Amino acid sequence: MKRYFLLFALLLTAGKGFAQDSKFYIFLCFGQSNMEGNARFDAQDTAGIDPRFKVLQAVDCPDLGRMKDTWYTAVPPLCRCKTGLTPADYFGRTLVANLPKRVKIGIINISVAGSRIELFEKDNFQPYVTSVPGWMKNMIAEYEGNPYARLVELARLAQQKGVIKGILIHQGESNTNDTLWTRKVKGIYDNLMTDLKLKPKAVPLLAGELVSADQGGACASMNKIIARLPETIPNSYVISSEGCSASPDKLHFTAEGYRKLGTRYGVKMLALLGYPVKATD
């Protein structure tokens, strides 16, 4: 009798080990170089990170002691092994600083520098991939040749532990002045809702502006198109990049710009979650 009781207890414990935690909030991030992280991070970006803030590793990074498909404290880089600071860093830090202590945050970041939005189109990405330069093909190969499928694979793995609460995108430089961009983003969003069995009303999409005109943004004209995204996806919100400092190329943000932009993503998500806080800038 004791043996059966012990076996039952072990099975019950094992089951709990794989139970979904409703207080583990998962966020999917995708885009091109600004979501990938272009600026170098420094000491303030790697210190004092709350262990409640996690990243699900997308690729193997032996030099960082990280294996793909494994959760780690979200110390940058949060994309691939040699990427830089991303809006996701301070998005997550802002959330854990303002949410109840029982809530954890998990990030999944699948981004490719220089890529058009077509790279994430589930049924349309292959013709685009054949046309990209070799250096981008190498990045895509790290995601098993299909960034969208890899994003879904990791999201399903994350759903075993937590609940997907939102999606972050920062993309558009390579689609500047593409008036079909909002429709393409909607197609990707709809596919994610279907493939991950999510309800659009419960999963907002936050889209960041490109480097703004006030910073001399090389692609600032695209912000007018990004501004129209809520007309296509009702549960979407645009995050202003005004005042977020840019690097000399006027395409990417500085580390300080990423901190500010990421904090704005976080403040907006907190409000959507019912925890409004004042912006810090």
Residues assigned a catalytic role:
33, 249, 252
**Complete DSSP assignment for 48-109:** S--TTEEEE--S-BGGGTB-TT-EEE-PSP-SSTT--B-HHHHHHHHHHHHS-TT-EEEEEE
DSSP at 23: T
Beta-carbon count within 10 A of 159 CB: 15
- Judge contact between 206 and 167, C-beta under 8 A: yes
Across the beta sheet with 104-111, the strand order is: 71-73, 53-56, 104-111, 24-31, 163-170, 205-208, 236-239
d(CA 10, CA 7): 5
| Contact partners, residue 249, CB within 8 Å, separation at least 6 | 218
**Directed axis angle between helix 87-98 and helix 255-273, to 10°?**
40
DSSP at 219: T
